[in-house]
Amino acid sequence: MTTRLLLLLVFASACGGSMGTGPVIGDDDAPPDAPVTVDGFTTLMEGDWSLAPGQESYFCVYVTVPRDLYVKAFRPINPLGTHHTVLTRYTGASPADGTVPCNVGTNGQSMIYGSGIGAPDFTFPTGVGLHLEAGTRLLLNLHVYNASDAELTGRSGTLFQEATAAEIQNLAELVLAGPTVALNVPPGVTTQSGTCNLSSLTNEPIQVFALSQHMHKLGTHMRSVVTRGATEIVLQDIPYNFEEQAFHLTPSLVELRPGDVLETECTFDNTTGSLVRFGESSDDEMCFTDIFYYPAQGASYICSSF
């Protein structure tokens, strides 16, 4: 059945968990009782998992889109234990469609969606969305973490809401902007920062329509500021809650131009008594402004000066 692709998040080999399956985009050969569409959302990828106490894992799910698809909304499947997901376009020929263990840096070049703890549905503004052409390869990087003292099981993944071609005039993409390997968070309350030069993303103006934030458990506040010559444009200046990571539409479009510099400032309250470095674990730290914009540039999903 060539149009039937089952994405399996196979945690059994690494986590001792069960295997979950989910029907995928345009699964025309699925049985009549298959849970393809619920409340207007269709399964893109999902799977069951089980983690022992204190265990943390990354898995990468690869799939080839079987038909042209337009997307106007996403819904994360993010039960307790799902730290975050990153969905990117992947251009490699291997590995084959399916699921393999991976790490935080295993992603395609351009990012089209991401979800964190507590993320709700995300609906693109009118006229904005995604076009996934038949044959496009997608990669879902899934981070699961059991911080409890008991076994934890769940089902994580991504749903989408389909649009018609006529509904989507502007094609979007997503970039994470902020410091990477040089991020060091000393004990106490400190603010760390990193920059993204917009010239590395685009050679034309882009329109920012949604923002989110990503830090880990020590983060308390984020400020994202664009510098254009002597002018500053504040994108966001808000408290941060690790349990509530969501995209918010901007009140109006924010135009960013080549030559603009985006600085991400993250405030941390490090009560561990030790230096905490940049890393993939929830016990490490990150500091990213997540910007959704159009037109899509095929840009690298991380923009950082270091």
- Tell me the per-residue pLDDT of 41-94, one tens digit each, with 9 for 90 and over: 998 877 677 789 999 988 888 888 989 999 999 999 888 888 888 999 999 888
239 to 85, 206, 262: CA distances (angstroms): 22, 26, 19
**Distance in angstroms (rounded) separating the CA atoms of residues 247 and 209:** 10
Give the mean pLDDT of the chain.
Answer: 86
User: Distance between alpha carbon 30 and the CA centroid of its chain, in Å?
Assistant: 28
Q: How confident is the model at residue 25 (pLDDT cuts 50, 70, 90)?
A: low
**Distance in angstroms (rounded) separating the CA atoms of residues 76 and 158:** 5
Q: How confident is the model at residue 161 (pLDDT cuts 50, 70, 90)?
A: very high
pLDDT of residue 134: 95
**Distance in angstroms (rounded) separating the CA atoms of residues 259 and 148:** 46
Task: Quote the strand ranges of 52-187, DSSP E.
Answer: 56-64, 69-77, 82-90, 98-101, 110-116, 122-123, 128-132, 137-145, 152-163, 170-171, 173-177, 184-185
Q: How confident is the model at residue 19 (pLDDT cuts 50, 70, 90)?
A: very low
Residues of the chain with CATH 2.60.120.230: 173-303
**Distance in angstroms (rounded) separating the CA atoms of residues 90 and 172:** 16
Q: What is the pLDDT of residues 199-258, one digit of tens each?
A: 999 999 999 999 999 999 999 999 999 999 999 999 999 999 988 888 999 999 999 999
pLDDT of residue 128: 98
Q: Which of 1.10.3470, 2.20.25, 2.60.120, 2.60.40 is the CATH number of 9-171? A: 2.60.120
215 burial via Cβ count (<10 Å: 0-12, 13-18, 19+): buried
201's tokens: 């993303």
| Class of the CATH-defined domain 173-303 | mainly beta
7's tokens: 């994405």
pLDDT of residue 286: 95
pTM of the predicted model as reported, rounded to 2 decimal places: 0.84
pLDDT of residue 117: 82
DSSP bridge pairs for 19? 10
